Amino acid sequence: MFQKVLIANRGEIARRLILACHELGITAVAIYSDADADAPWVRLADERYNLPGVSATDTYLNQTTILDIAQACGAEAIHPGYGFLSENPAFATACAERGVVFIGPSPEAMELMGSKARSREIAEQAGVPIVPGVDGAGMSAAELQTAVAHIDYPILIKASAGGGGKGMRVVWSADEFVDAVQAARGEAKNSFGDDHILVEKYFTEIHHVEIQVLGDQHGNVLHLFERECSIQRRHQKIIEETPAPVIRNDDLRQRMAAAAVSLAKAVGYSSAGTVEFIVDEKGGFYFLEMNTRLQVEHPITELVTGIDIAVWQIRIATGEALPFTQDDLQQRGHAIECRVYAEDPAHNFLPSIGKIVVYERPSGPGIRVDDGIESGTAVSPYYDPMLAKVITWGHSREEAIGKMIRALQQTIVLGVTTNIPYLLAILHEPTFRRGHTSTNYLPEHLPNWQPAPLDDDGWLGAAVFELLQGGGKKGGTAVSTAESIAYDPWGETAVWRNVKR
């Protein structure tokens, strides 16, 4: 087992990985930018080192500085979490050259699966169903249009490198095709430095389902069942759950899982990874891509399987073999994850920047919160605005949803605007409750959502927030902003009472 591991990430995933290290008795090393100097996950670490600057390029993407810190502090391994350097084969190679273990798959596996074109070829060779389409490498827009003439519109153009919706265009008719190809190639070049595109059949009513896999360095590859991640805004997931509502029979589940394991074995995959599929309403499924890292939504799989994926990533990186077999694993109950973002759903989801004056996480049976914030944390414009993940488990989907509603209602974040009201609106919506959650769900069911006007409790909360920000009095005397933030209005006895009459 490693003695010391450096966590090359920030926020809730840094905290999650620090806890995984502590579970194994490993010294956890945090690195932090100037903007994150006072973050709670930094204090949680056993050792901490500054990355001067605030931009991602200067800090959490600065490979040389991170490796220098790892060697200087004696860290035997680096865990990249997700995002940043997690799927960067060059960084994994640089780690090996410095004698530091990269906790993740091999650079070769990452490189193969990082190319949508190459991974599509490998999937087809491994017998995994793929979406009908054409690789556009070396083809002009006109040649490509001829090559896809056998595919019915709509058609999807997407960048071979990268993701997140960049370099992606949906084409509804032949008249739009050439312009869309040129636009997609230009955006792909600007975003990823590579204008390689793929053209595929676009399905208008699909579900996004992914299979979690776990492989060791001894050739063992298992699946940890599926997650459905169809609730997406601008191609970004916001609610995930397992088991997937769209999978209504075990035969489809087993065929998808077998395909995912087959693909992982084809590239000699070790560590945690996720094979993503699209599933149509008739039960057909097609390979989409493979994420060669720990996923944001891994906690829901942990809750239904009892497997600590983050811990096993570390164990696998030391060379340990998986001690359980596929027959030892089963899904128990239902789990849901909601991502809480600092953004304003009422104003086109603009990021909300500022200081979190009050933060209280929910608690109770079947509730888990992965976060990297506390009261007083500054939300900066430099990084992803996700604040926390609220995860619930129940014996049934209905029970898990009920717990999630209560958990989100208990979550208090004052100082920045969050998407919690929007998440609650989804959880209450009848179509979601029935499990009909295609990737078109949000535009179809909440296209122009706006928060409800404040009720009496809401106005009371606003008044308390104003008091905390410096607009109130303590014992009848005006107080400064600094004093009011430290001041607890619920303990006040001189002016008002904190009870309803």
What the block records as the tokens of 86 is 């997690």
198 close to 136: Cβ distance less than 8 angstroms: yes
Q: Are 369 and 389 a contacting pair, CB within 8 Å?
A: yes
3-state helix, strand and coil shares in percent for the chain, rounded to the nearest 5: 35, 25, 40
Geometric angle at alpha carbon 174, from 169 and 178, rounded to 5°? 60
Per DSSP, the residues of 355-389 read: E--EEE---STTEEEEE---TT-EE-SSS--EEEE
Instruction: Please state, as a whole number, how many other Cβ atoms lie within 10 Å of the Cβ of residue 402.
Output: 15
Q: At what angle do helices 89-97 and 63-73 cross, to 10 degrees?
A: 30
B/e letters for 8-36, b = 16+ CB within 10 Å, e = fewer, are bbbbbbbbbbbbbbeebebbbbbbbbebb
- Tokens 């090393």 belong to residue: 29
CA angle at 353 for the pair 349 and 357, rounded to the nearest 5°: 115
Q: What angle do CA 391, 485, 423 make, to 5 degrees?
A: 25
Q: Which of 227, 253, 293, 368 is catalytic?
A: 293
> Is 248 marked active-site?
no
Cβ-based neighbours of 179, under 8 Å, separated by 6 or more: none
| Catalytic machinery residues | 293
